[in-house]
């Protein structure tokens, strides 16, 4: 082998040049996919698995200290005969989401898809014998929705997830394992997810925080993903600053930069698309006693504030063990879809507006059009700082009535029409442009 060939071989990992990854050269496909992701603004998160059967959230194996052998028996009884991918996609469509992110494997280690890497998967381990991810991928494709796969790096079942991480307990696994075999297992599963389900939106990683300092070899996993599907986005929920090869910065239960949940970073990327994942009640997986559902106006507020921060909202549902989505989730999704039917132009395809998010609301923009979202302001006048361009016209998005405004060097004051009954967000459209004081 020539010296040149040897260097090339050493720099090549599974066909993808490592050198390109080291510089984090972002392909045109990824750039375009990131833009489409940022335009999408609203996604549906689905946490669904064996754990749904116990109705106590997706951490039930850990919280109740269930032994691997017992959880394996539980897994064998999973039989969601009422699952219908087309019904889920129809609900997602009515809600106005532009993508779905579903758990392919959560921390319990059970694969919700057909995999040759372990029999511990929904097709080979259960009487259900169907691959719901395949059915969902087909239904999404038929409807033009992007599908992302959530994939847990943390595993409470796999013997090679060793040494164990912060969430470990004595659940009957042997006290030894082969970490490199575990990485190979994950990469093989990711290869299946990226080669058997058509073009996917990307991979949403979670759980690395269980062993943040382990040799995860992310560069090679990320290179593999980008080689198999150049437009697939990598969305890591590691609660840290974005790393090389990652495409989206995601925040859990918090708007970008906030940290009420206690594990998000305050760093906000200025380059990458942003996303906030949010539970509709207080649980990700189905929780039969959790009735703490957020109101529709609160959810509208999250969507608006996420967009005002330049981010997407990934709103979660936890389907029931039979495969149906409960009425509390469905009703809220339908209402959000109704709201977006009127106000969606102020959300989809927008970026953060010229006025940073405030306690009263947020602003979004598309080109010269600025959308002022008034979520919570009791007074008739609202003063905005200078917008960087003069306001040509101002009108209410709903109904189109003109809105009086006054522009000075200090900013723009809007005379707000009163909110209609039950209207969570008064949206004032400002058409800006040209030269002028504000
Ligand atoms: O532990 C998981 C949790 O179960 C859920 O999947 C959320 C979703 O963002 N992420 C993890 C916690 O960071």
Q: How far is the CA of 376 from the centre of ligand 1 (A)?
A: 30
Task: Tell me which residue has its CA closest to atom 1 in ligand 1.
Answer: 207
Average pLDDT over residues 325-333: 98
> Are 309 and 364 a contacting pair, CB within 8 Å?
no
- 350 CB under 6 A from ligand 1? no
What is d(CA 413, CA 136) in angstroms, rounded to the nearest whole number? 48
Q: How confident is the model at residue 263 (pLDDT cuts 50, 70, 90)?
A: confident
Q: How far is the CA of 147 from the centre of ligand 1 (A)?
A: 18
- 210 CB under 6 A from ligand 1? no
> Are 414 and 372 a contacting pair, CB within 8 Å?
yes
For residue 300 the two structure tokens come to 């509208």
- 284 CB under 6 A from ligand 1? yes
Q: How far is the CA of 206 from the centre of ligand 1 (A)?
A: 7
DSSP-assigned letter for residue 80: -
Q: How far is the CA of 154 from the centre of ligand 1 (A)?
A: 11
Task: Please report the atom of ligand 1 found closest to the CA of residue 59.
Answer: 4
- 108 CB under 6 A from ligand 1? no
Q: How far is the CA of 153 from the centre of ligand 1 (A)?
A: 11
Rg (CA), the chain: 23
- 281 CB under 6 A from ligand 1? no
Over 60: is that where the pLDDT of 146 sits? yes
Of 72, 160, 26, 96, the C-alpha closest to 332 is 96
- What percent of the chain shows pLDDT beyond 70? 94
Computed from CA positions of residues 112, 117, 123, 127, in that sequence, does the dihedral angle turn out positive or negative?
Answer: negative
- 58 CB under 6 A from ligand 1? yes
Average pLDDT over residues 21-28: 72
Q: What are phi and psi for residue 414, nearest 5 degrees?
A: -105, 135
Q: Across the chain, what does the average pLDDT equal?
A: 94
Write the CB contacts of 338 (distance below 8 Å, at least 6 apart in sequence).
Answer: none
| Model pLDDT for residues 80-117, shown as the tens digit of each residue | 999 999 999 999 999 999 999 999 999 999 999 999 99
For residue 57 the two structure tokens come to 């959230």
| Model pLDDT for residues 272-312, shown as the tens digit of each residue | 999 999 999 999 999 999 999 999 999 999 999 999 999 99
Q: How far is the CA of 152 from the centre of ligand 1 (A)?
A: 9
Q: Is 234 exposed, middle or buried (0-12, 13-18, 19+ CB in 10 A)?
A: buried
| Model pLDDT for residues 56-84, shown as the tens digit of each residue | 999 999 999 999 999 999 999 999 999 99
Average pLDDT over residues 362-383: 98
Over 50: is that where the pLDDT of 437 sits? no
For residue 429 the two structure tokens come to 């459209």
What is d(CA 319, CA 172) in angstroms, rounded to the nearest whole number? 29
| Model pLDDT for residues 184-213, shown as the tens digit of each residue | 999 999 999 999 999 999 999 999 999 999
| Model pLDDT for residues 1-20, shown as the tens digit of each residue | 333 333 323 333 233 333 33
Q: What are phi and psi for residue 345, nearest 5 degrees?
A: -65, -20
- 156 CB under 6 A from ligand 1? no
- 252 CB under 6 A from ligand 1? yes
Other CB atoms within a 10 A radius of the CB of residue 403 amount to 19
Task: Please report the atom of ligand 1 found closest to the CA of residue 253.
Answer: 9
pLDDT of residue 435: 56
For the chain, the distance separating the N- and C-terminal CA atoms, rounded to the nearest angstrom, is 66
For residue 141 the two structure tokens come to 């494709």
pLDDT of residue 23: 52
Other CB atoms within a 10 A radius of the CB of residue 320 amount to 18
pLDDT of residue 8: 29
Task: Please report the atom of ligand 1 found closest to the CA of residue 250.
Answer: 9
Ligand 1 site-directed mutation target among 49, 237, 275, most atoms within 8 Å of CB:
237
Q: How confident is the model at residue 25 (pLDDT cuts 50, 70, 90)?
A: confident
Task: Please report the atom of ligand 1 found closest to the CA of residue 263.
Answer: 13
> Are 24 and 223 a contacting pair, CB within 8 Å?
no
Task: Tell me which residue has its CA closest to atom 9 in ligand 1.
Answer: 252
Estimate the crossing angle of helix 85-95 against helix 327-343, to 10 degrees: 40
pLDDT of residue 434: 72
Write the CB contacts of 262 (distance below 8 Å, at least 6 apart in sequence).
Answer: none
Our measurement of the distance from residue 226's CA atom to the centroid of its chain's CA atoms, rounded to an integer in Å, reads 19
- Tell me the three state secondary structure of residue 173: coil
What is d(CA 239, CA 249) in angstroms, rounded to the nearest whole number? 9
> Are 419 and 378 a contacting pair, CB within 8 Å?
no
What is d(CA 354, CA 366) in angstroms, rounded to the nearest whole number? 11
Q: How far is the CA of 98 from the centre of ligand 1 (A)?
A: 21
pLDDT of residue 361: 98
Question: What global pTM score does this model have?
Answer: 0.94
Ligand 1 site-directed mutation target among 206, 253, 313, most atoms within 8 Å of CB:
206
Q: How far is the CA of 374 from the centre of ligand 1 (A)?
A: 31
Q: How far is the CA of 62 from the centre of ligand 1 (A)?
A: 13
- 339 CB under 6 A from ligand 1? no
């Amino acid at each position: 082998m020539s010296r040149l060939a040897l260097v090339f071989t050493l720099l090549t990992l599974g066909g993808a040049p490592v050198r390109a990854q080291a510089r984090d050269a972002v392909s045109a496909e990824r750039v375009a996919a990131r833009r489409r992701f940022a335009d999408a603004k609203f996604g549906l998160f689905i946490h669904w698995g064996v754990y749904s059967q116990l109705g106590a959230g997706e951490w039930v194996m850990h919280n109740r200290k269930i032994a691997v052998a017992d959880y394996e028996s539980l897994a064998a009884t999973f039989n969601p005969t009422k699952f219908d991918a087309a019904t889920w996609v129809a609900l997602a469509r009515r809600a106005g989401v532009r993508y779905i992110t579903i758990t392919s494997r959560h921390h319990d280690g059970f694969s919700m898809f057909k995999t040759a890497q372990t029999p511990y998967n929904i097709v080979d381990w259960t009487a259900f014998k169907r691959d719901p991810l395949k059915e969902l991928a087909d239904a999404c494709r038929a409807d033009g929705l992007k599908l992302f796969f959530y994939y847990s790096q943390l595993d409470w079942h796999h013997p090679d997830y060793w040494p164990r991480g912060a969430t470990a307990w004595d659940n009957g696994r042997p006290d030894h394992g082969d970490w490199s075999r575990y990485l190979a297992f994950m990469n093989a599963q990711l290869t299946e997810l990226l080669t058997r389900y058509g073009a996917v939106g990307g991979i949403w990683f979670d759980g690395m925080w269980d062993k943040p300092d382990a040799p995860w070899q992310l560069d090679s996993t990320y290179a593999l993903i980008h080689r198999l599907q150049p437009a697939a986005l990598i969305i890591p929920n590691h609660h840290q600053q974005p790393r090389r090869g990652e495409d989206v910065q995601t925040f859990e239960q918090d708007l970008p930069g906030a940290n009420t949940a206690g594990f998000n970073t305050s760093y906000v990327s200025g380059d990458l698309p942003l996303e906030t994942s949010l539970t509709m009640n207080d649980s990700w997986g189905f929780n039969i006693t959790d009735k703490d559902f957020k109101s529709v106006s609160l959810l509208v507020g999250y969507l608006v504030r996420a967009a005002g921060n330049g981010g997407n909202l990934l709103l979660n549902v936890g389907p029931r063990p039979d495969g149906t989505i409960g009425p509390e989730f469905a009703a809220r999704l339908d209402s959000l879809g109704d709201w977006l039917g009127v106000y969606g132009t102020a959300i989809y395809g927008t970026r953060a507006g010229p006025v940073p998010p405030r306690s009263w609301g947020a602003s979004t923009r598309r080109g010269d059009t600025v959308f002022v979202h008034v979520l919570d302001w009791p007074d008739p006048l609202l003063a905005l700082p200078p917008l960087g361009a003069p306001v040509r016209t101002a009108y209410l998005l709903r109904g189109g009535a003109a809105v009086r405004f006054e522009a000075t060097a200090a900013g723009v004051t809007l005379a707000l029409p009163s909110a209609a009954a039950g209207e969570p967000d008064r949206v004032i459209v400002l058409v800006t442009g040209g030269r002028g004081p504000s």
